[in-house]
Amino acid sequence: MDNQIIYLIYILSFVIGSIIGLVLSYKKYTEPFIKKNIDMVALILAIIGWILVLNNPLFMVIPYYITITIGVFLIALVIGMRPGYGRYETVIGFSVAGIIWIIRMGLT
Amino acid sequence: MNLMADILLNVIIAFLVGSVLFGLQRKIMARIQMRPGPPIIQHLLHTFKFFIKESAFPKTAAMPFYIAITAMLCAIWVAAVIVGPVTEGSLLLFFAIYALHKIVEHNAGSSSGSPYGKMSCVRAVFSAAAELPLFAVLIIIYLKTGTMNIGNIVTYQGHYGPLIWGIPLAAMMFFVLILSKAPYSPFAITKGKDIISGYETEHFGLLRGYLMISESIAWYMLLWVFLTVFIGGLSPIGYLIGMVLISALVALINATTPILNPNHSIMVQVSLAFIGVLGSIILLTVY
């Protein structure tokens, strides 16, 4: 597939993910970000999303553009949550995926 | 790929990335100012929102110019995408498009009949004086590389390294130009909050949507040209990182500086340009 089309798909995936994340988080949370709790569902989504994006060669069976598109969508779901929410989850998700990436680079 | 498909693809990418970068910029500005800030998708949602809002036309508007000007703004930035990422044409054409942008900005302000629009229109002419050094950037690039073709400039950088090291002051002048196009920037006198939304004040609904699309494409294109001309042929990820970094830097400057008085804004830009032109000539002579 042409590279530019792939990048457009990633961008669309990010935009759609952000919009869905925003809508769902406003339904889930009726108050502003005061309690500063970590949302377990968002945390799992963020970890899976970042792993799919940063470590897509691990999933050799699936073409890389599909893995990254799904990953970007999941990342956007969490980043796109209403202001304040999803912040800690994103940092944790990125850190976990980053550690796996470093280990992977060290092994290869 | 078919040329039309290539253009369409690049325009959609430019619009979406430009919108998200504007949203990111607002988010960073908000965080610096200790506010939660809007979601980074907010600017894009605003743009879409205007397409489903009612369009109203002021009685004082100069029809059909008032409507046509929004289409013109969109058309010139689509042309910029064609000159830039699609064909990698001449830098001279890109700067011609930028000059047209100033004229369109001026006319959008005057066509509505609003006093705020007219004030913005006067400021657009006023600020154009500060953007003349932009052509000096072009000449400096030409003197350094011997070409104005974007493709050839990228090839030149492949051999001799990024131009930002060779002509840093020209890059600084171009960065000031980028800064002047950002919302809430110290040089954004045509859209200063003292004149509401400047030349956009009386454009509502669909027309405002077109203006916002054009602005997003313009932001993407300015960053694209900066990265391509001064850093060289980057990978798409490289472009994305570069654009995010420049947007973040611009957000930092915007969040910490007030919008300058028009006289001061022009004087600062002219002073920076004077230093840039003189310094670049000295650097070119020495090396």
Does residue B202 have a pLDDT over 80? no
Query: What's the CA dihedral at B270, B271, B274, B275 to 10 degrees?
Result: -150
Residue among B15, B19, B40, B43 with most chain A CBs within 10 A, to mutate: B40
How close does chain B come to A65, measured CA to CA in Å?
Answer: 14
| Per-residue pLDDT, B219 | 93
Helix (H, G, I), strand (E, B) or coil at B90: strand
| Per-residue pLDDT, B213 | 92
Condensed to tens digits (0 to 9), the pLDDT of residues B205-239 reads: 888 888 899 999 999 999 999 999 888 878 888 88
Does residue B133 have a pLDDT over 80? no
- Of A35-44, B122-131, B147-156, B237-246, the one with minimum mean pLDDT is B122-131
- Cα–Cα distance for residue pair B199/B73, rounded to 1 Å: 12
Does residue A1 have a pLDDT over 60? no
Structural domain boundaries of chain B?
Answer: 3-286
Residues of A in contact with B37 (CB under 8 A): 83
Residue among A4, A6, A22 with most chain B CBs within 10 A, to mutate: A4
How close does chain B come to A93, measured CA to CA in Å?
Answer: 19
Higher pLDDT, A14 or B111: A14
- Cα–Cα distance for residue pair A50/A34, rounded to 1 Å: 26
How close does chain A come to B49, measured CA to CA in Å?
Answer: 13
Decide if B12 touches A, using CB distance below 8 A.
Answer: yes
Contact predicate B238/B121, CB 8 Å: no
Condensed to tens digits (0 to 9), the pLDDT of residues A53-96 reads: 888 777 778 888 889 999 999 999 998 888 888 888 889 989 99
Token readout for B58 is 């002021």
Does residue B197 have a pLDDT over 80? no
Q: How far is CA B97 from the centre of its chain?
A: 11
Residues of A in contact with B1 (CB under 8 A): 2, 4
> Could you say which of A3, A4, A18 has the minimum Cβ distance to residue B39?
A18
* Residue ranges in chain B assigned as alpha helix (H): 3-32, 42-51, 65-81, 91-111, 115-128, 133-145, 150-160, 163-166, 168-181, 205-230, 236-256, 262-286
Does residue B132 have a pLDDT over 80? no
Helix (H, G, I), strand (E, B) or coil at A55: coil
Decide if B17 touches A, using CB distance below 8 A.
Answer: yes
Check CB contact under 8 Å for A84 and B10. no
Band the pLDDT of B130: cuts 50, 70, 90: low
The DSSP 8-state label assigned to residue B53 in this structure reads: S
CA distances from B227 to B16, B88, B220, B257 (A): 18, 13, 11, 25
Check CB contact under 8 Å for B9 and A14. no
Name the phi and psi angles at B90, rounded to 5: -85, 140
| Per-residue pLDDT, A15 | 92
- Cα–Cα distance for residue pair B131/A19, rounded to 1 Å: 38
Query: What's the CA dihedral at B174, B180, B186, B189 to 10 degrees?
Result: 150
Query: Residues near A89 by Cβ (< 8 Å), separated by ≥ 6?
Result: A38, A39, A42, A43, A45, A46, A78
How close does chain A come to B37, measured CA to CA in Å?
Answer: 7
State what percent of residues in chain A have pLDDT above 90. Answer: 29
Query: Residues near B139 by Cβ (< 8 Å), separated by ≥ 6?
Result: none
CA-based nearest residue to B20, from A5, A93, A54, A76: A76
- Cα–Cα distance for residue pair B282/B109, rounded to 1 Å: 40
pTM of the model: 0.90
| Per-residue pLDDT, A60 | 79
- Cα–Cα distance for residue pair B108/A50, rounded to 1 Å: 44
How close does chain B come to A18, measured CA to CA in Å?
Answer: 7
| Per-residue pLDDT, B218 | 92
Condensed to tens digits (0 to 9), the pLDDT of residues B97-123 reads: 888 888 887 787 778 878 887 787 888
Query: Residues near B192 by Cβ (< 8 Å), separated by ≥ 6?
Result: B123, B198, B259, B262
- Of A6-15, B25-34, B56-65, B167-176, the one with minimum mean pLDDT is B56-65
Higher pLDDT, B111 or B253: B253
> Could you say which of B10, B13, B39 has the minimum Cβ distance to residue A82?
B39
- Cα–Cα distance for residue pair B282/B287, rounded to 1 Å: 9
- Cα–Cα distance for residue pair B256/B258, rounded to 1 Å: 7
Mean pLDDT of B28-52: 89
Cβ burial, residue B170 (10 Å; 0-12/13-18/19+): buried
Name beta bridge partners: B52.
Answer: none
Average model confidence (pLDDT) across chain B: 85
Does residue B137 have a pLDDT over 80? yes
Residues of B in contact with A19 (CB under 8 A): 41, 45
- Cα–Cα distance for residue pair B116/A96, rounded to 1 Å: 52
Residues of A in contact with B16 (CB under 8 A): 8, 11-12, 15
Mean pLDDT of B268-281: 84
